[in-house]
Amino acid sequence: MKLLLISNSTNYGESYLMWCQTQIELFCQQNGISADSNLLFFPFAGVKISGIEHPNSYDAYQERVQGVFMGWGYKRLSSIHRFKAEEMPEMIDKADCIIVGGGNTFHLFAEMYEHALMEKVREKVCKGTPYIGWSAGSNLACPTLGTTNDMPIIQPQSFNGLNLVPFQINPHYIDPNPVIDDMIKHGGETRMDRLNEYLTVNQKTTVVGLREASALWVDNDKMTLRGGKKMLVMRYGEEIYNVEPGADVSELLVK
């Protein structure tokens, strides 16, 4: 499989997808994705797109992503929501690259199941079609949505994800006790607390904390950490450790 699993789309103060532009372009280049390739976008996590006045959030999301990719020279990006239900499987078959945007992971899963797209996308990607996902799109590639940070605004038919990787990703990982302002630190439940709860219930699962401005690049049985941030690896009953940027983390692909 060819996967690029990105923690976040936007760093503070930067334009949309700016920090990961190099990663996406290099990933596309190395996997034969050209200006004329068919890129198929899944906007279902985009319940509300901030900064865009548009009556349909999926249309707005497509326009935002399409504009960025066109600026990079990719001319053929379409969105799955533009097609009728009976047309969607054919569009997946024709796709040269699957792209899944971030937003609310529960809503993404709900829509994927509502349109019966989970197995079709998994089959397509497992046959070698490149997959790019950020935030919720990275969660979708995991066994379940259990390590998302999102509010459950809708109940999907199942929590089961695409299971393209055998571990769970927590995107946007934030280290404990972030500073809220100059005087006050967060005194409540931390991200680490929540992930430890998950591991207590799911003791055979590996969880990785993917910090902002980092991504996992999977090339068949090899996986590397890209970007400029360390990645946290957590397993029940084991010492937590950090992985340096650029490291080979292929061992996480072994179940």
The residues annotated with a catalytic role in the active site are 135, 150, 172
Contact of 16 with 64, CB cutoff 8 Å: yes
> What is the spatial order of strands in the sheet that 39-42 belongs to?
77-79, 39-42, 97-100, 131-134, 2-6, 214-219, 222-227
User: Would you give the DSSP letter of residue 238?
Assistant: S
Contact of 198 with 168, CB cutoff 8 Å: yes
The span from the CA of 220 to the CA of 209, in Å, is 22
* Packing angle of the helix pair 105-114, 118-126 (nearest 10 deg): 100
Collapse the DSSP code of 27 into the 3-class scheme (helix H, G, I; strand E, B; otherwise coil) and give the result. Answer: helix
Contact of 38 with 94, CB cutoff 8 Å: yes
